[in-house]
Amino acid sequence: MVGHGGTGARGRLASCVGLIVIAISTPGCSSSNRPASPAASSTPVLWGELKPVVSVKELMRDMLDPAADNIFDAVKIVYTKEGTVETIPKTDADWEKIRIGAVTLAEGVYLLKIPRPFAPPGDENNSTGPDAPELSPAQIKAKLESDLVLWNAKIEALRNVGLEVLEIVKNKKVDELWDAGGNLDQACESCHIQYWYPGDRAVLEKLDRRLQEMNERSRGPDRAGRGR
């Protein structure tokens, strides 16, 4: 009885081990038949809905333009009868103001990716009459929708200047602020000329003059030999 029982127990144990091996092996064999799990999406998921509050015109006036002024006004030269007055950042507060402008630009310009009116209700810009200098909101919208790649390229160009200024602030490179101001002016005006007042000769001339002044200031006597 003992011997037979032992043999039976060993037989049952062997059978159980065999079943266990089969059970373990089966998922590995059948896994190739199961559909692969979908790859994780590379598109960032927003934490909530984005709803615009103001028009593009108001967003520029109330947020992006003041932020840009923090950068434009950080370095400048004013010529008076008493002499030349140069403004540069000197204190931590000066640099912090520039940083606020850069962060606001780099982050805030992405709000232009959210569809919104181009002007408040009833505001048609200066788009009436012959040779109107500005496009109407409807004309701007049509231009944008005809080439979304260009619209987003303009946004990225402005954002890149914001990122550039953040690096300048981090290292407190005063001289590089002159070039950054020129880059910012060019990014702003190239977008305005494309969508707001295309072909405006006066604006083009203003842009050329301002860039030339920026270049001359950055190459002043104490900066002779600097290259762009």
pLDDT band (50, 70, 90) for residue 219: low
Contact 102, 71 (CB under 8 A): yes
Candidate ranges 28-42, 113-127, 190-204; pick with highest mean pLDDT: 113-127
Mean pLDDT for 135-155 is 97
- Whether the CA torsion 126, 136, 59, 161 is positive or negative: it is negative
- Taking the whole predicted model, whether its pTM rises above 0.75 is answered as no
What pLDDT is attached to residue 42?
A: 67
Q: DSSP string of 182-228?
A: HHHHHHHHHHHHHHTSTT-HHHHHHHHHHHHHHHHHHT-GGGTT---
- Between these two residues, 156 and 228, which has the higher pLDDT value? 156
- What are the residues facing 25 on neighbouring strands? none
Better pLDDT: 208 or 102? 102
Q: How far apart are the first and last CA of the chain?
A: 100
Calculate mean pLDDT across residues 5-32.
42
The first and second tokens of residue 102, run together, are: 């850069």
pLDDT at position 23: 40
Assess whether pLDDT exceeds 70 at residue 32. Answer: no
Q: What mean pLDDT, rounded, does the chain reach?
A: 81
Is 226's pLDDT higher than 80? no
- Provide the percentage of residues in the chain whose pLDDT is more than 90: 62
> Rounded to the nearest 10 degrees, what angle do helices 137-146 and 174-195 cross at?
100
Residue 182's pLDDT band, with cuts at 50, 70 and 90, is very high
Q: Check residue 212 and give its pLDDT.
A: 74
Range name among 35-39, 104-108, 141-145, 187-191 with the lowest pLDDT average? 35-39
- pLDDT for res 108: 98
Of residues 197 and 40, more confidence is placed in 197
Percent of the chain with pLDDT over 70: 70
Most confident of 23-32, 173-182, 189-198: 173-182
Confidence band, pLDDT 50/70/90 cuts, at residue 152: very high
**What topology does CATH give the domain 56-217?**
Four Helix Bundle (Hemerythrin (Met), subunit A) (1.20.120)
What pLDDT, on a 0 to 100 scale, did the predictor assign at position 222?
53
